[in-house]
Amino acid sequence: MRVGIYARVSTNEQRTLPMQLKALRKYVRARNWKVALEVEDIGSGVKERKKREQVMDAARRREIDVVLVWKLDRWGRSIHDLFMTMKELTDLDVIFVSLTEAVDLSSPVGRAVAGLLTVFANFERELLRERVKAGIAYARKRGKRHGRPASVTKYATKVRKLFAQGVSKAEIARQLSISRTSVRRLLLNSK
């Protein structure tokens, strides 16, 4: 089995990368597997983990048969993220193993754990959805506008002035570096 090892710490101050790698390599040797890829990552809470994506890309290219991590929280940002990546790996017939939690998706127990993760991921998503809805409702009650602010409204006066001078909508858009659709909307809303 060709293994992709992924070891991560949140900050440079954390010194557990060597310990993680030593334990992961030992596990690979004990299983008579071969390390095909080894990725060390440092970062916390970022949306895109480019180093982790290297491991996923290797799985997609069928260069590895197993993804091996120290702990689940070293791999996933959230339960949902963890579930989605584990599902993709399963769909690719790549085994996911978390060493310290003894999660091995090649076993029935590991697949049961993945099933529980599905339940928790859905629960986490529902909680987040409820919090967002409550926040929006609270903001609306206080008279706050919801959504992205209109970015071109600052040009409304200039647009109307140029249009009144006979400048075409396309030329106004070019001069102000905004879209023609925005020019049309501003003119429509000024009537």
Tokens of 167: 């400048």
CA distance linking residue 49 with residue 68, whole number of Å = 16
Q: What is the CA radius of gyration of the chain?
A: 26
Mark whether 10 is an active-site residue.
yes
Measured between alpha carbons, how far is 6 from 51 in angstroms, rounded to an integer? Answer: 8
Tokens for 56?
């996923």
Q: How far from chain centre, in Å, is Cα 142?
A: 32
Rounded-to-integer distance, Cα 141 and Cα 132, Å: 14
Catalytic annotation, pick one of 10, 106, 107, 179: 10
Q: Which helix or strand (DSSP H or E) is residue 34 part of?
A: strand 34-42
Two structure tokens written together for 175 = 């001069």
Catalytic residue ranges: 10
